[in-house]
Chain A
């Protein structure tokens, strides 16, 4: 065999070993459990044969005897096509030392992250890792040499969209990158937490259930750290592809345009009940207004009094914020404020216009809200809305009261306000306002006076005075909402910047 042939066979041997991951036994166990392995996940999410791997031959470079036991050093990294667009991708291989963070694989992640950011490609992060590798990181030598050493490792300026999937245990770096992402999907059964349940049990001396510590229900309903969840790996990866279909490749371009739906929105007049106290599900309104099958709701089980969704209107991507009277009457709470704030940051950072659908009796007031720092959350939401530099339109369908009127786009906080004839706007619901105005008197003693004041206030809340003073720019029939929004949005396209926003919130946190 010539020298050249020997070198070639050495390369083939090393490549084959790198692709062998944690070995046939571990891979077979995953298959039996219905889990894809790290390379199958990459192949599944990317277009066929489009993966260009970076650092295939990387291995542990700290502990010499680990060199042969760490194919690709437990993190598969590279570039590829996702639905025809170029992206960067990181897939954690749990079968190699639990995909723990090491010197080499952190360089691999950093490289792909840097290239994706500087060259304007989305980044996909498939999480399943145990945390920092031991003993590599131990001692002051380990810490000094290994962890970090990259002053931009956890900084987001949202130059390009990031999506992550929580597909197994995600502690340490997988948890951090998940929380830095613009979109996160979690497979049921996976765990997202700062540290493993075992470590948590040791540290605090009590049994910790993994799902209670960081399962999908906790993160979907209570923390809001994930945007959605899936039954299987495949479903989770499909949801990342769906999210990316609404995103531009980077913040200097506008999102992809799709063919528009032909629809009228005729049924809109029948959805909102005439009785001002009755509830309804705002999803039915959104389905009528937006393109068919285009509504992609984020954090559907968190802060449910409001709906945040990416969608398309006449083929163009829009962000939707809607009050949902079905839950708590649509009264806004602290969680909803957090959810809306993060959604406004997302849309503004990636040049997505905003539509607001308004029907809220106001912010929920009371002890629980104050403990959740409601006042500050309301202001974060308000600041984000005022910094929002893409076109923003709001539709007052029914109630819009108090500070929530401003947060939901009233008072020049959206570019144009549309109102249905059923709109009612004031500082306070007439029932409460009557009691404030007639403070000290009882309704039982002077029922007529109370009724008179209440009736006058209710009448004053009708939309006509707002139209007359140009506080709303359009009063429209509900069934004309879709066509009006399509036309108005086209007039509001920013021709001078070719639709690129100011991105004033691009460096805001990814979690609230």
Chain B
């Protein structure tokens, strides 16, 4: 069991959170969508696993490299 961080690759805003804590995800599944530069930027799962933590809410500003969620594999 490894805890893997889902990090934001951009500075922007959380637009839509698509998964909830407890959801099973496959690698590359979008956990949430950020908005930056008027583009929808996906934040995908780094590996197959379960979402165990979501640190942000829709509408909040995030920095590049900020941890958005944790996936346990």
Interface residues in chain A, defined as those with a beta carbon under 8 Å from any beta carbon in chain B: 277-279, 325, 327-331, 361-362, 364, 366, 368, 429, 431-432
Contact = CB atoms under 8 A, between A and B. Distances in A.
Contacts of B36: 328-329, 331, 364
For the complex, would chain A's binding face be called helix, strand, loop or mixed by DSSP majority? loop
Contacts of B39: 277, 279, 325, 328-331, 361
A326 to B, nearest CB: 8
B38 A279 contact: no
Interface in B22-59: 36-42
Interface residues of B, number: 11
Contacts of B9: 327-328
Contacts of B17: none
A328 B41 contact: yes
Given A329-B39, A361-B39, A364-B11, 10 more contacts: A277-B39, A328-B9, A328-B39, A328-B41, A329-B36, A330-B39, A331-B10, A331-B37, A368-B11, A429-B37
Nearest to A328: B10
Nearest to B65: A368
B40 A277 contact: yes
A75 to B, nearest CB: 42
B12 to A, nearest CB: 9
A329 B64 contact: no
A361 B35 CA distance: 12
A278 B36 CA distance: 12
Nearest to A304: B9
A297 B9 CA distance: 21
A432 B38 contact: yes
Given A329-B10, A364-B10, A368-B11, A279 B37 contact: no
Contacts of A362: 37
A329 B13 CA distance: 13
Interface of B: 9-11, 36-42, 64
A366 B42 contact: no
A422 to B, nearest CB: 15
A190 B64 CA distance: 29
Nearest to A275: B40
A101 to B, nearest CB: 39
Contact of B38 (A328, A366, A368, A431): A431
B11 A329 contact: no
Contacts of A277: 38-40
B37 A328 contact: yes
A325 B38 CA distance: 12
A279 B43 CA distance: 12
B11 A366 contact: yes
Contact of B64 (A278, A361, A368): A368
A331 B9 CA distance: 12
Contacts of A366: 11
A275 to B, nearest CB: 8
A361 B42 contact: no
25 contacts: A277-B38, A277-B39, A277-B40, A278-B40, A279-B39, A279-B40, A279-B41, A325-B39, A327-B9, A328-B9, A328-B10, A328-B37, A328-B39, A328-B41, A329-B36, A329-B40, A331-B36, A331-B37, A361-B37, A362-B37, A364-B10, A366-B11, A429-B37, A431-B38, A432-B38
A277 to B, nearest CB: 5
A361 B38 contact: yes
A366 B42 CA distance: 20
Given A327-B9, A366-B11, A429 B38 contact: yes
A328 B42 CA distance: 9
A39 to B, nearest CB: 42
A361 B40 CA distance: 11
B15 to A, nearest CB: 9
Nearest to B39: A329
B37 to A, nearest CB: 4
A327 B37 CA distance: 12
Contacts of B37: 328-329, 331, 361-362, 364, 429
A366 B13 CA distance: 14
A217 to B, nearest CB: 15
Contact of B42 (A279, A331, A364, A432): A279
A371 to B, nearest CB: 11
A429 B39 CA distance: 10
